[in-house]
Amino acid sequence: MTVLFADVVHSMDIAAAVGAERLREIMADLVDRCAAVVRRYGGTVDKFTGDGIMAVFGAPVALEDHAVRACLAALGLQEEAKRLAAEVESRDGVELLLRVGLNSGEVITGEIGSGPFGYTAMGEHVGMAQRMESVASPGAVMLSESTARLVENSTILGKAEMVHIKGSPEPMRARRLVAVAGRGGRIGQPVSSLVGREWELAALAGMLDRAIRGHGCVAGVVGPPGIGKSRIVAETAAIAARRGVGVFSAYCESHTTEVPFYAVARLLRTAFGVEGLDDHAAAQDVVRAQVPPADPADLVLLDDTLGIRDPAVDLPDIAPDARRRRLTALVNAATLARETPGVYVIEDAQWIDQVSESLLADFLSVVSRTHFLVLITYRPDYHGALSRTPGAQTIALAPLDDTQTAALISELLGTHSSVAALAGQITERVGGNPFFAQEIVRDLADRGVLTGQGGAYAFSGLVDDVSVPATLQAAIAARIDRLGPNQKATVNAAAVIGTRFDTDMLGALVDNADVASLIEAELVEQVRFTPRAEYAFSNPLIRAVAYESQLKSDRAQLHRRLAGAIEARASADENAALIAEHLEAAGDLHAAFGWHMRAGTWLTFRDIAAALMSWRRARQVADRLPDDDPDRMSMRIESRTLLCGQAFRLGGSGAETGFEELRELCAAAGDQRSLAIGMSGLVISQNMKAHRREASRLATELIGLVESIGDPTLTIALLHTAMVAKYETAEMAEVLRLAQRVIDLAGGDLTKGSLMIKSPFALAVAMRGLARWCLGIGGWKGDLQQAIATARASPDVTMRVGAMWFAYVIHVPYGVLLPDAAALRDTAETLSIAGQSGDDLMLDLARTTRGVTLVQHGGPERDVGLDLLAMVRERCVHETFSLTILPIVDSYIAREKARLGDVDSAIELARPVVDDLFDSGGCIWTALATSALVEALVQRCGDGDLDDARAAVDRFAAVPTDPGFVLHEITLLRLRALLARAQGDEVAYRDFRDHYRDMAKTLGFEGHIAWAEAMP
Ligand SMILES: Nc1ncnc2c1ncn2[C@@H]1O[C@H](COP(=O)(O)OP(=O)(O)O)[C@@H](O)[C@H]1O
Ligand SMILES: [Mg+2]
């Protein structure tokens, strides 16, 4: 146990100045305040010494962390004393200061003496605490060596000092208590001792032991509110603390579900120990010491996520997806490198925001190889990613059984005979929910139905006369309702802030906030002391009830003020989503719209899904504005334009964007530009979903629209989307025309019109080259070389990947270029760059380019290429990537199967691809897919195969094309030659082969030249 002595400095002088009467008054006030603080930390006031108090922690109830609690209380005493001193100073003109001393040790307690609780702490340790007090400086707290040793890890202490103590010849060591380090856990003493939960706790303790030995574990603790999730986590944390294992917690809040990064930032901040460190440079040092050597850019990303980035350092130009990959890699590496065991807690995951959820799911994937136990609590209605961690254990907390509930209630009520019947009634009512039981007892005590002290109540009425609240919510509501005006104002303001709140924010919302009374009433707990006091509702349900029970208009006021306070205090961009939430709750729709949009911009560089969500929120807000609001129309258009324009970045699934609404709004407002921007995004989305015909039709409309607007920069910025859609449907004459148009308008300016992509000009050059050779027009080589050279010189990843795609993916499969050393080098470089800084779309494009090149090259890395293509295929099928890539990949996989002799599978794979392309209205990949099918049929040469092959070739030959479309002509010659040979028609074969050879040479298609030469 730890003994605390607190004494007023020079009390005799004060007495002389103010008189004995007033001194008694001051002392009574001080003692009251001190006693409350001691109780708050689970201590017991042992006696009043006339000008101070003595308190013990750890007796009569054994408290595991008595020393830390005593430290917290000591600092709390000094705070109270300071507050009182300010009053005394102004009223009496005297200085009031307190000295506090602590000492820990084994103390024999017994019935000797006459302390208020019938026991007196004994032994020389008590004397030592008093001596510590006597050597403390006024206003300070001094710890004996034994206490210091116990709290070393959780406090900030002054240097060891040698102090001389009256009556002792030898000087002894002592240390001054400076602060208690921030703790995320609960500090208040639990209301009742734990009942039941034996196997659950044993299981968690077992997992903890395994984790300590290096077999980390993730455990989900599931149950309805009040059932004891947080309690069992706290019990596990106490076991961890006894084993010397640190505990780090993060909490999700019901109002931050749509605030991206909210939970993950908090968990990482506690995990790295920078929570509450306001000095960015210092915080960065702390983080650097814990991560393995890393790329400086990665460290900036980590700082940014932790909210400790030096604003003077630019965010590296990295797409959100790459940012996420790099961050995950870095955090996972740091996690794996950490050898000290730790318990990480994520509370109330049912409210987690999506970004945090998916990032945490990534981090959790390595836990089994660490020394960590990760505990996640959530309600049964949560089925998100964190409830499905592979290999995780789940502990579903059942209601307490009647015996357990009765035991709990009898501890709360006591054993006085008058309460027995009441206990039975409560047991029946609460359905095994310990929190409900507590709330009912508190309610009855508040109402005066119960008299006496907690744990020793008496009841003087008829059980039948007592109304017991029917639900947990009602019990809480009743208690809140009885609070005084000042406490109510405080609880209301706190509820608007969230489950956790600090004094600064509270101060911004209410004058004279009275948190102490709320703690006293066990509605709120203090959870952090330094650098800023932080509090939490004892249970999120209390917060919810306090929130709901307020008048909407009052609440709106608070939300508005809070939004202002957050903006003034913290980095505005980072908190834009949170500010928007509060403004929306305040009904301030204009401002909320602005902040949602601002959040969207901030998130564009961090998480695209989250950015889209912000724009969707902005759209909702704009729609809610009254019809006669002059800004309504423009706000509705602005949010939809961004949504429609950017949705494709999420991949083929490209969530709902509401384009038709945008179209109507733009028509009503005469806003052609916004319509064109939104339409461009839709063209890309439709194309990525392989809705080829629809994409091409929209592209035609877009071209007309853009030309009618007649703004050259906008034309350059948007036409490329139409170009890509037309390319997909093999409308090459149109591609050529559009490419030339962009090239002419850009006049060589690489970055003109860089709205959606960095360099529409560079893309146009690549596309012109492509269209030219498809149509048998000269000059394509020059275009291609220029495109590759520009791409290689460009620091921009989209430009690079895009140009490499159009340089290799079509040229290599179609025999225009050979997969030579330059191609191997370019595709390797591009893949690595895309992985480092590109979004997933870019990475998949780069993988496909690399995969196709490697397979076609056929060298030692062929299998690597196939793996890449298989990976891409997987992502196509799950619609996280463009479905237009599927026919390419499938053609390659079919060819590979045929090469390895599995011709049946090859045909099975290739046939539907061909059919599908015909059905969807013509495609640039029809030639490739048809080739793969015909080659396989010819190879198998079974019954009817050659007829099938001929039918496929004829069907292909009948595809309508632009005049001079040599891509199909030369493919056809090759396929006809293959077919003739298989049919044994030597004459026809030679004829086709020779034509094929000539054509390949005339066109200068390197691949075809090689293939033609290889024909017998
Ligand atoms: N098994 C138990 N024995 C005694 N008290 C309990 C038990 N489980 C929970 N409690 C108490 O009930 C209250 C609500 O529990 P808590 O863990 O906050 O619920 P949850 O996190 O599931 O909402 C707390 O005061 C807690 O100490
Ligand atoms: Mg909880």
User: Looking at residue 803, what is its pLDDT?
Assistant: 84
Asked if residues 775 and 732 have their Cβ atoms less than 8 Å apart, the reply is: yes
Q: Give the residue among 714, 701, 766, 704 at the shortest CA–CA distance from 739.
A: 766
Asked if residues 633 and 619 have their Cβ atoms less than 8 Å apart, the reply is: no
pLDDT exceeds cutoff 80 at 974: yes
Rounded to the nearest angstrom, the distance between the alpha carbon of 347 and the centre of ligand 2 is 7
Tokens of 750: 């690489």
191 lines ligand 1 (CB under 6 A): yes
**Around Cβ 281, how many Cβ atoms within 10 Å?**
9
- E strands of 686-781, at which residues? none
User: Looking at residue 108, what is its pLDDT?
Assistant: 53
741-791 pLDDT per residue, tens:
999 999 888 888 887 888 889 889 999 999 999 999 999 999 999 988 888
User: Looking at residue 115, what is its pLDDT?
Assistant: 42
Ligand nearest to the CA of 227: 1
User: Looking at residue 1, what is its pLDDT?
Assistant: 84
196 lines ligand 1 (CB under 6 A): yes
Counting atoms of ligand 1 from 1, which one is nearest the CA of 541? 23
926 lines ligand 1 (CB under 6 A): no
Work out the average pLDDT over 805-818. Answer: 90
233 lines ligand 1 (CB under 6 A): no
Work out the average pLDDT over 977-990. Answer: 95
Atom 8 in ligand 1: residue holding the nearest Cα: 228
Distance CA 288, CA 285 (A): 5
Ligand nearest to the CA of 476: 1
Rounded to the nearest angstrom, the distance between the alpha carbon of 436 and the centre of ligand 1 is 9
Ligand nearest to the CA of 234: 1
222 lines ligand 1 (CB under 6 A): no
884 lines ligand 1 (CB under 6 A): no
Parallel, antiparallel, or unpaired: how do β-strands 217-222 and 393-396 relate?
parallel
Counting atoms of ligand 1 from 1, which one is nearest the CA of 377? 21
430 lines ligand 1 (CB under 6 A): no
Work out the average pLDDT over 974-988. Answer: 95
Rounded to the nearest angstrom, the distance between the alpha carbon of 437 and the centre of ligand 1 is 10
539 lines ligand 1 (CB under 6 A): yes
Pocket probe for ligand 1: among 235, 435, 541, 545, the residue whose CB has the most ligand atoms within 8 Å is 435
- E strands of 223-312, at which residues? 246-251
User: Looking at residue 62, what is its pLDDT?
Assistant: 61
223 lines ligand 1 (CB under 6 A): yes
User: Looking at residue 188, what is its pLDDT?
Assistant: 52
Place of tokens 């960590």: 372
pLDDT classification of 317: cutoffs 50, 70, 90 = confident
User: Looking at residue 111, what is its pLDDT?
Assistant: 41
Atom 26 in ligand 1: residue holding the nearest Cα: 231
pLDDT classification of 175: cutoffs 50, 70, 90 = very high
Asked if residues 384 and 290 have their Cβ atoms less than 8 Å apart, the reply is: no
Q: Write the CB contacts of 911 (distance below 8 Å, at least 6 apart in sequence).
A: 933
Half-sphere exposure of 969 (CA within 13 A, CB side): 18
> For the chain, what is the mean pLDDT?
89
Place of tokens 């032994």: 123
Counting atoms of ligand 1 from 1, which one is nearest the CA of 190? 27
229 lines ligand 1 (CB under 6 A): yes
Pocket probe for ligand 1: among 231, 397, 408, 545, the residue whose CB has the most ligand atoms within 8 Å is 231
Q: Give the residue among 569, 430, 456 at the shortest CA–CA distance from 503.
A: 569
Helical residues (DSSP H) of 221-376, grouped into ranges: 229-242, 262-272, 280-288, 296-306, 320-337, 354-364
Work out the average pLDDT over 719-734. Answer: 95
190 lines ligand 1 (CB under 6 A): yes
221 lines ligand 1 (CB under 6 A): no
User: Looking at residue 791, what is its pLDDT?
Assistant: 84
Ligand nearest to the CA of 221: 1
Segment among 115-119, 785-789, 849-853, 1005-1009 with least mean pLDDT: 115-119
Work out the average pLDDT over 634-660. Answer: 82
- Quick check: bond before 485 cis, omega within 30? no
268-313 pLDDT per residue, tens:
988 888 877 778 888 888 888 888 888 999 999 999 999 888 888 8
pLDDT exceeds cutoff 60 at 187: no
User: Looking at residue 154, what is its pLDDT?
Assistant: 67
Asked if residues 496 and 547 have their Cβ atoms less than 8 Å apart, the reply is: yes
398-452 pLDDT per residue, tens:
999 999 999 999 999 888 888 888 888 899 889 999 999 999 998 888 888 888 8
Work out the average pLDDT over 46-55. Answer: 84
pLDDT exceeds cutoff 80 at 257: yes
Ramachandran class of 506: left when φ > 0, alpha when ψ lies in -120 to 50, beta otherwise: alpha
325-365 pLDDT per residue, tens:
999 999 999 989 888 899 999 999 999 999 999 999 999 98
Distance CA 408, CA 406 (A): 5
pTM score, whole prediction: 0.81
pLDDT classification of 119: cutoffs 50, 70, 90 = very low
Asked if residues 218 and 211 have their Cβ atoms less than 8 Å apart, the reply is: no
Q: Give the residue among 629, 566, 578, 624 at the shortest CA–CA distance from 602.
A: 578
Tokens of 859: 């060298």
227 lines ligand 1 (CB under 6 A): yes
865-900 pLDDT per residue, tens:
999 999 999 988 887 788 889 999 999 999 999 999
Rounded to the nearest angstrom, the distance between the alpha carbon of 540 and the centre of ligand 2 is 7
Rounded to the nearest angstrom, the distance between the alpha carbon of 226 and the centre of ligand 1 is 6
698-711 pLDDT per residue, tens:
999 999 999 999 99
Asked if residues 805 and 888 have their Cβ atoms less than 8 Å apart, the reply is: no
Rounded to the nearest angstrom, the distance between the alpha carbon of 233 and the centre of ligand 2 is 9
pLDDT classification of 1003: cutoffs 50, 70, 90 = very high
Q: Give the residue among 270, 253, 429 at the shortest CA–CA distance from 343.
A: 270
Distance CA 390, CA 589 (A): 42
438 lines ligand 1 (CB under 6 A): yes
Counting atoms of ligand 1 from 1, which one is nearest the CA of 232? 17
**How far is Cα of residue 825 from the mean position of the Cα atoms in its chain?**
37
Place of tokens 């809610």: 624
Atom 16 in ligand 1: residue holding the nearest Cα: 228
